[in-house]
């Protein structure tokens, strides 16, 4: 058990190191002097500020020191939680900016992932019931997964927002309101949240439904299903077993799909101008704020790694086979 | 020890009236011709490909030229209307389809080559090579592709479809490597692989002549999925503004539609066609894939 | 001709080689020209692993496998291995898995030709193939130009033996080659092995079936958990088994004219004399043999 | 009489047409009888075993009737068959190693199965423990997952589970083929014991291994190409077979003690006919050394002496 977890943690550790290294390498190995090209493009008007920024970033990059030293100081800064200072919102630290936006992204992501997974699984199992359902639900699922996140977001915003007028189509909450734990603010927050959530939920739903449908067909063909049928067990029991067993690979699928769903969240946020990481990515790109961009990258990677580890733990808890193997069963 | 084929008498004997190779092919065709998913999927993909290939030939001016009146809804002259600047959306659409196919084929192709190579080597060599490649695959798999791409592409000054495809290809191969590895692992234990070794065959020849042909349908399906995936990732990159500079693609059309407030202005004809094109193309590929799976996988035929 | 001395095979199982699985333990045996040696054991006895090690398909953990004086386990490089396979060949358990299902069955001959006889003319080669097919008592018209699934298991196994005979082999490793064949055809394959033996071929016959091992072999080796339990001339081993494990196995084999009850009664009436088995310490990996009569050895007792 | 099978025909549907896997099979099975069903691969023995409990998707009941304890068994009607399954007719499948749900504890799975068949688990719990002990298992296995058990243990669990409701007929389809000889012997002996104790009334033991059948069966039925060749008491089949196919088949079996030096055994030349378009007349005639003109007519299965049936024109009537 500990060996297995240790191995997983090892992989995640390596991934983290690789991600940090990529982050460190990209600006240094791209052609040109990163500091001047960044600041040139950033179009800062105040010359004094520009001078201060120039000094600061040159020091941070430390381009005159040997490479390994640059690398080490990059790490030491990182471990102190220092991701540098934003160009766009100078002189605010990148970490603070990101932390301010993360709750919005998480608020979209977590419900969208969890609900789409649960509903998608039910839906897929339902589709495997008959040929007719299979032939209608399945293509729908494939169309949904093939939809670019931002396009479904646009369609929903247009249909339910612009034309229907049921929901607002931009921002995380109305600018007229100040954030507080009051009912009007929360309901306002929810109406802004709903459309981005819905579009993410729908796209992710298709994938889960298809995955479950394929897995459950496989399980219904398995020997134990056959045997139970031969002993006259009712379809209900066999389906229950198959559903449960088909869920297990779906949990692993959750880990594999995380990256795609997060990407979807970023794109969806841009459509709705939702104040999460996605909009922040767009802003940092438009302002050539690479510190901010790289900071977001690291945060996302760490988030994915943590989520992966949680999924691993859940899997071990749910699948008796891995549990047995880890504690050293009889066979 | 046990030798009890599922269908008694069907597997035996020299009395089979026709050669097996032909029988297998004709059996495949038999199911292929009767599989609506395969037929519809292939039909749509081919129609879109045709549009992308032939369409531009009938368009006199480039896709980004300001040809007509601004912000016009679809009409007989401008089939898909015009943008806020008077660009012909139909022209953008057919050119965009071209680059979408290009990025899919190229990005998916690169990912396919990397993925199958890693998968075959890992699955076939085993041991330490497998451990290392597997770890490498897992690392790349965990990294969120689009986010990595955003950071990488952001630093590029010159961006074109080919570079974009290259980056996509180099980051989206891991699941294919995993899938190919597990298939290769199971095929590598077949006795005919050992027999090929005993016949003095080199490893790469065994992979290419013994193993790969036996999973060709599987490989085709992986390629289709990578193709579709590459298109979606490219569209995402374009949408964030990291698309090919001065180019045209379906993703860039979506980007400019959003950037110039097509949504708020109610210009649905600006953002619906590009997204519909992507969805239709990728969706039909997925459905085509299911069809293929049903044709090649006898277990699925019955349902 | 073939000599295994102190051969061990240890697999590392689990992530990063956590646990050790001892598949073959301190095995010593020889195969001479014109001799059939049976390796008999239940699942997990290591019998197939020994076959694979002799064929160089899996590595040796420690010990030596000498073929005509050269250590086989140390052969490195493609061409040296290829030369080895000119002299030593194998046939495997599952005839249907030994042929690549997408090619015609006689492709196995072509593979030998392209690797070993590229210079032979078409006519000479055809004659050589026909001779080999004749030797295994097949009718060329029935088996050439056919796909594997059009042929029976027995025909396929004989084709594989014919394939091995195309080379100038001295040793044939026959790994469970008849366990998947039907009763009516397996005896023909066994008789074929006996014919080949007459021609001076050494055969290592791996089987789980005691009566088959007994039928065809000169010497028998009974394996248990990777180590030799008993080894000696077949008649001695079967008529006067010394090791308690061999006796137990023999009492469990279903026999055609004697029921288990009769066997048990017989055994109770004439209880066999006990022999002193060699012993080793807990941590000792070796498995010494004791000679109880000329050429008849017993090994350690494992539980 | 426990089981009576009349002219049973079951075909497999394939793209190229129907495979006549069972083409007119007649036999009776007495109370307490263990019948070994032997034959080469593709002879229809597994199809026969399966059709008695559940036809899979591609199998089609063409003709014939089955009676169990005087009652008609509607094998073509999946729904109506359910009443018989498990309660009256039970199965130890070829794939016993993977017949248990891998993610359920064994005890829980058995209880859920029992409940779904209208049996209160508490009513049979004691019996379940007793029978597990009888086959040499600790009742604690019920608290384990299938993956924690060895192949032989799983086999025994399936055997106990399959017979828990004391079925009239148990079909064991190659049930011990995947086991090592020593495990095989103890499992087979437990099966006989189950019959002796009345846990199962009668049993059909499908196998390709005639010497195994001889150890445990009362009667042996040999099938060839979808039809019955011969049925007789086990010792008669082994020591005094009448059908040429049976004779040759038994003659081809090496025994412990025979070697190539003493006697060269001989196989049966040729291969069984394809069942897509089975030949007319006796299906063995092309491989039979004593075939003659009359063999182009289908030989009926006749009782050549009490309890000994054969389908051959040459067996003395």
pLDDT for residue A327 is more than 60: no
Report yes or no: B37 and B287 within 8 Å, Cβ to Cβ.
yes
Nearest C-alpha in A relative to B178: A256
Average pLDDT across chain B, whole number: 81
Which of D210, D211, D265 lies closest to C187 in CB terms? Answer: D265
Please, which chains are in contact with A (at least 3 CB pairs closer than 8 A)? B, C, D
Distance CA A208, CA A122 (A): 9
The answer to whether the Cβ–Cβ distance between C18 and A4 falls below 8 Å is: no
Nearest C-alpha in B relative to D18: B10
* pLDDT for B24: 57
Is the omega angle on the peptide bond into residue D276 within 30 degrees of 0, that is, cis? no
Report yes or no: B244 and B99 within 8 Å, Cβ to Cβ.
yes
Distance CA A193, CA C134 (A): 80
Distance CA B18, CA B66 (A): 63
SS3 of D266, please?
Answer: coil
Question: What pLDDT band is residue B228 in, cutting at 50, 70 and 90?
Answer: very high
pLDDT for residue B84 is more than 60: yes
Average pLDDT across chain C, whole number: 89
pLDDT tens digits, C53-80: 999 988 899 999 999 988 988 888 888 9
Q: Which residue has the higher pLDDT, A184 or C288?
A: C288
Distance from CA of B24 to the nearest CA of D (A): 11
Report yes or no: C29 and C23 within 8 Å, Cβ to Cβ.
no
Is the dihedral angle over the CA atoms C105, C111, C116, C120 positive or is it negative? positive
For C29-33, C84-88, D174-178, which range has the lowest pLDDT when averaged over its residues? D174-178
* pLDDT for C25: 92
Which of B142, B155, B257 lies closest to A304 in CB terms? Answer: B142
Distance CA C87, CA C126 (A): 21
D117 interfaces chain A, CB cutoff of 8 Å? yes
Question: What pLDDT band is residue A330 in, cutting at 50, 70 and 90?
Answer: very low
Nearest C-alpha in C relative to B3: C180
The answer to whether the Cβ–Cβ distance between A131 and B303 falls below 8 Å is: yes
Q: Which residue has the higher pLDDT, B183 or C282?
A: B183
* pLDDT for B236: 92
* pLDDT for C26: 93
Distance CA A123, CA A208 (A): 8
* pLDDT for B10: 35
* pLDDT for B143: 83
Question: What pLDDT band is residue C274 in, cutting at 50, 70 and 90?
Answer: confident
Among A1, A2, A7, A324, the strongest candidate for a mutation testing the C interface, having the largest count of C CBs within 10 A, is A7
Q: What is the mean pLDDT of residues C21-48?
A: 92
Distance CA B222, CA B212 (A): 13
Question: What pLDDT band is residue B298 in, cutting at 50, 70 and 90?
Answer: low
pTM: 0.86
Domains of chain D from N-terminus onward: 3-79+217-255+263-315 (3.40.50.300)
Question: What pLDDT band is residue C7 in, cutting at 50, 70 and 90?
Answer: very high
Highest mean pLDDT among A249-253, B75-79, B143-147: A249-253
Distance from CA of C183 to the nearest CA of D (A): 7
Length of chain C: 303
Positions of chain D with pLDDT under 70: 1, 316-317
Which residues, 6+ apart, have CB-to-CB distance to C302 below 8 Å?
A: C224, C225, C227
pLDDT for residue B13 is more than 70: no
Size of interface B-C (CB pairs under 8 A): 71
CA nearest neighbour of B260 among B42, B38, B106, B86: B86
Which residues on adjacent β-strands are paired with residue D17?
A: D14
Q: In what order do the strands lie in the sheet with C62-67?
A: C19-31, C2-13, C62-67, C70-71
SS3 of D236, please?
Answer: helix
The answer to whether the Cβ–Cβ distance between A146 and B232 falls below 8 Å is: yes
Nearest C-alpha in C relative to B130: C16
Strands D3-14 and D17-29: antiparallel
The answer to whether the Cβ–Cβ distance between C101 and B201 falls below 8 Å is: no
CA end-to-end span of chain A? 16
pLDDT tens digits, A238-277: 999 999 999 998 998 888 888 889 999 999 999 888 998 9
The answer to whether the Cβ–Cβ distance between C182 and D40 falls below 8 Å is: yes
The four Cα atoms C163, C167, C168, C170 give a dihedral, to 10 degrees, of: -50
The answer to whether the Cβ–Cβ distance between C210 and D209 falls below 8 Å is: no
Q: What is the mean pLDDT of residues C249-265?
A: 88
The answer to whether the Cβ–Cβ distance between B240 and A281 falls below 8 Å is: yes
Nearest C-alpha in D relative to A243: D103
Distance from CA of C14 to the nearest CA of A (A): 9
The domain spans of chain C are 2-87+169-242
Q: What is the mean pLDDT of residues C19-31?
A: 89
CA nearest neighbour of B226 among B172, B288, B182: B172
ipTM score for this prediction: 0.87
Q: What percent of chain B has pLDDT over 90?
A: 26
Which of B151, B156, B266 lies closest to A23 in CB terms? Answer: B151
pLDDT tens digits, A55-89: 777 777 766 777 788 888 888 888 887 777 777 77
Query: Within 10 A of B261 (CB to CB), how many other CB atoms are there?
Result: 12
Please, which chains are in contact with C (at least 3 CB pairs closer than 8 A)? A, B, D
Nearest C-alpha in A relative to C17: A3
Size of interface C-D (CB pairs under 8 A): 110
DSSP per-residue codes, C125-146: HHHHHHHHHHHTT--HHHHTT-
The answer to whether the Cβ–Cβ distance between C187 and D185 falls below 8 Å is: no
SS3 of A63, please?
Answer: coil
Q: Which CATH number fits domain C2-87+169-242: 3.40.50.300, 3.60.15.10, 3.30.1370.60, 2.40.128.20?
A: 3.40.50.300
Which residues on adjacent β-strands are paired with residue D96?
A: none
Length of chain B: 303
pLDDT tens digits, B191-213: 999 999 999 898 888 988 888 88
Q: Which CATH number fits domain B51-57+82-300: 3.40.50.80, 2.60.120.20, 3.40.50.720, 1.10.3720.10?
A: 1.10.3720.10
Q: What percent of chain C has pLDDT over 90?
A: 52
B19 interfaces chain C, CB cutoff of 8 Å? yes
Which of C55, C57, C153 lies closest to B3 in CB terms? Answer: C153
Residue A29 tokens, joined: 């190995």
Distance CA D228, CA D104 (A): 41
Residue A243 tokens, joined: 């559903």
The domain spans of chain A are 2-79, 101-327
CATH domain A101-327 topology = MetI-like fold (1.10.3720)
pLDDT tens digits, A174-218: 777 777 778 888 888 888 899 999 999 999 999 999 889 888 988
pLDDT for residue A21 is more than 80: yes
Report yes or no: B169 and B107 within 8 Å, Cβ to Cβ.
yes
pLDDT for residue C31 is more than 90: yes
Which of A19, A134, A148 lies closest to B279 in CB terms? Answer: A148
Q: What percent of chain A has pLDDT over 70?
A: 91
Distance CA A299, CA D216 (A): 69
pLDDT for residue B295 is more than 60: yes
Query: Within 10 A of C179 (CB to CB), how many other CB atoms are there?
Result: 17
């Amino acid at each position: 058990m500990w060996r297995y977890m240790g191995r997983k943690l090892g992989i995640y550790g390596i991934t983290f190191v690789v991600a940090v290294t990529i982050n460190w390498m990209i600006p240094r190995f791209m052609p040109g002097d990163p500091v001047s090209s960044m600041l040139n493009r950033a179009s800062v008007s105040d010359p004094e500020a520009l001078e201060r920024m120039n000094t600061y970033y040159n020091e941070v990059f430390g381009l005159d020191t040997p490479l390994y030293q640059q690398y080490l100081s990059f790490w030491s800064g990182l471990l102190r939680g220092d991701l540098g200072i934003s160009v766009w919102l100078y002189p605010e630290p990148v970490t603070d900016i990101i932390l301010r936006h993360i709750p919005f992204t998480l608020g979209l992501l977590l419900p969208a992932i969890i609900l789409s997974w649960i509903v998608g699984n039910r839906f897929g199992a339902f589709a495997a019931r008959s040929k007719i359902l299979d032939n209608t639900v399945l293509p729908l699922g494939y169309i949904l997964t093939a939809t670019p996140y931002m396009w479904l977001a646009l369609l929903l915003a247009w249909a339910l927002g612009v034309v229907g007028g049921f929901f607002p189509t931009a921002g995380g909450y109305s600018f007229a309101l100040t954030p507080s734990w009051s009912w009007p603010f929360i309901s306002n927050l929810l109406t802004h949240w709903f459309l981005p959530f819905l579009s993410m939920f729908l796209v992710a739903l298709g994938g889960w439904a298809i995955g479950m449908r394929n897995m459950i067909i496989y399980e219904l063909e398995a020997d134990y299903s056959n045997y139970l049928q031969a002993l006259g067990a009712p379809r209900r029991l066999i389906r229950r077993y198959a559903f449960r067993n088909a869920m297990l690979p779906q949990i692993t699928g959750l880990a594999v799909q995380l990256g795609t769903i997060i990407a979807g969240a970023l794109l969806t946020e841009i459509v709705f101008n939702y104040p999460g990481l996605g909009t922040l990515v767009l802003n940092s790109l438009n302002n050539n704020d690479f510190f901010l961009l790289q900071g977001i990258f690291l945060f996302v990677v760490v988030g994915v790694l943590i989520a992966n580890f949680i999924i691993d733990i859940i899997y071990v808890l749910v699948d008796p086979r891995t549990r047995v193997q880890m504690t050293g069963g009889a066979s | 020890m046990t030798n009890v084929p599922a269908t008694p008498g069907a597997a035996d004997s020299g009395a089979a009236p026709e050669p097996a190779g032909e029988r297998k092919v004709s059996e495949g065709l038999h199911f292929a011709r009767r599989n609506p998913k395969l037929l519809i999927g292939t039909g749509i993909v081919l129609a879109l490909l045709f549009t992308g290939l032939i369409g531009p030939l009938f368009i006199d001016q480039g896709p980004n030229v300001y040809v007509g009146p601004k912000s016009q809804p679809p009409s007989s002259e401008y089939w898909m209307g015009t943008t806020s600047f008077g660009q012909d959306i139909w022209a953008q659409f057919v050119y965009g389809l071209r680059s979408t196919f290009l990025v899919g084929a190229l990005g998916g192709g690169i990912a396919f080559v990397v993925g199958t190579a890693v998968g075959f080597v890992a699955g076939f060599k085993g041991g330490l090579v497998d451990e290392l490649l597997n770890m490498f695959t897992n690392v790349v798999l965990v990294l969120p592709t689009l986010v990595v791409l955003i950071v990488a592409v952001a630093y590029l000054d010159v961006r074109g479809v080919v570079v974009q495809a290259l980056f996509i290809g180099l980051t989206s191969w891991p699941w294919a490597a995993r899938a190919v590895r597990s298939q290769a692992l199971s095929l590598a234990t077949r006795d005919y692989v050992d027999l090929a070794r005993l016949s003095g065959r080199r490893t790469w020849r065994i992979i290419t002549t013994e193993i790969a042909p036996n999973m060709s349908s599987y490989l085709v399906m992986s390629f289709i999925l990578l193709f579709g995936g590459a298109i979606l990732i490219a569209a995402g990159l374009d949408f964030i503004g990291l698309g090919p500079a001065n180019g045209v693609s379906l993703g860039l059309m979506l980007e400019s539609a959003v950037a110039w407030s097509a949504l708020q202005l109610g210009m649905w004809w600006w953002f619906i066609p590009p997204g519909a094109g992507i969805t239709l193309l990728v969706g039909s590929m997925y459905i085509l894939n299911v069809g293929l799976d049903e044709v090649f996988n006898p277990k699925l035929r019955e349902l | 001709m073939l000599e295994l001395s102190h051969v061990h095979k240890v697999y590392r199982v689990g992530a990063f080689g956590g646990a050790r699985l001892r598949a073959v333990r301190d095995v010593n045996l020889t195969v001479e020209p014109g001799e059939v040696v049976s390796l008999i054991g239940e699942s997990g006895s290591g019998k197939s692993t020994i076959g694979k090690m002799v064929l160089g398909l899996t590595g040796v953990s420690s010990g030596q496998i000498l073929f005509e004086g050269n250590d086989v386990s140390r052969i490195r490089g493609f061409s040296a291995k290829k030369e080895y396979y000119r002299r030593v060949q194998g046939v495997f358990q599952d005839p249907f898995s030994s042929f690549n299902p997408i090619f015609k069955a006689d492709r196995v001959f072509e593979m030998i030709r392209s690797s070993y006889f590229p210079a032979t003319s078409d006519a000479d080669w055809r004659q050589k193939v026909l001779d080999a097919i004749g030797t295994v008592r097949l009718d060329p018209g029935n088996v050439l130009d056919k796909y594997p699934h059009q042929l029976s298991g027995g025909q396929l196994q004989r084709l594989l033996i014919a394939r091995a005979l195309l080379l100038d082999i001295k040793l044939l490793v026959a790994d469970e080659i008849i366990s998947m064949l039907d009763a009516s055809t397996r005896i023909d394959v066994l008789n074929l092995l006996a014919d080949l033996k007459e021609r001076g071929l050494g055969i290592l016959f791996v089987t789980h079936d005691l009566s088959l091992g007994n039928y065809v072999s000169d010497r028998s080796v009974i394996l248990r958990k990777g180590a030799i339990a008993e080894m000696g001339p077949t008649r001695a081993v079967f008529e006067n088994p010394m090791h308690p494990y061999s006796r137990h196995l023999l009492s469990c084999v279903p026999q055609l004219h004697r029921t288990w009850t009769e066997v048990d009664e017989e055994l109770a009436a004439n209880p066999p004399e006990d022999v002193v088995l060699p012993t080793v310490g807990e941590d000792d990996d070796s498995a010494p043999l004791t000679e109880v009569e000329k050429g008849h050895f017993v090994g350690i007792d494992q539980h | 009489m426990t089981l009576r099978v009349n002219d049973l025909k079951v075909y497999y549907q394939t793209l190229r047409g129907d495979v006549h896997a069972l083409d007119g099979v007649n036999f009776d099975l007495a109370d307490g009888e263990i019948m070994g069903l032997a034959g080469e691969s593709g002879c229809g023995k597994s199809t026969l075993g399966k059709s008695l409990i559940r036809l899979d998707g591609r199998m089609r009941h063409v003709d014939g009737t089955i009676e169990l304890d005087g009652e008609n068994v509607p094998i073509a009607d999946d729904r109506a068959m359910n009443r018989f399954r498990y309660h009256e007719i039970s199965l130890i499948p070829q794939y016993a190693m993977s017949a248990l749900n891998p993610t359920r504890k064994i005890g829980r799975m058995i209880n859920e199965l029992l409940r779904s068949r209208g049996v209160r688990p508490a009513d049979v719990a004691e019996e379940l423990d007793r029978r597990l002990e009888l086959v040499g298992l600790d009742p604690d296995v019920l608290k384990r997952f299938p993956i924690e058990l060895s192949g032989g243990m799983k086999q025994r669990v399936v055997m106990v589970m399959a017979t828990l409701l004391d079925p009239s007929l148990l079909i064991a389809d190659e049930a011990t083929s995947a086991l090592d000889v020593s495990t095989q012997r103890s499992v087979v002996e437990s099966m006989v014991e189950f019959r002796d104790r009345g846990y199962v009334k009668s049993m059909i033991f499908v196998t390709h291994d005639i010497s195994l059948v001889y150890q445990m069966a009362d009667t042996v039925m040999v099938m060839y190409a979808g039809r019955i060749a011969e049925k007789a008491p086990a010792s008669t089949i082994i020591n005094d077979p009448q059908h040429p196919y049976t004779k040759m088949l038994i003659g081809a079996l090496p025994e412990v003690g025979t070697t190539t030096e003493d006697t060269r055994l001989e196989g049966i030349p040729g291969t069984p006919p394809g069942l897509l378009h089975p030949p007319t007349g006796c299906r063995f005639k092309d491989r039979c050394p004593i075939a003659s003109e009359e063999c182009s007519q289908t030989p009926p299965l006749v009782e050549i002496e009490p309890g000994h049936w054969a389908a051959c024109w040459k067996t003395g009537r």
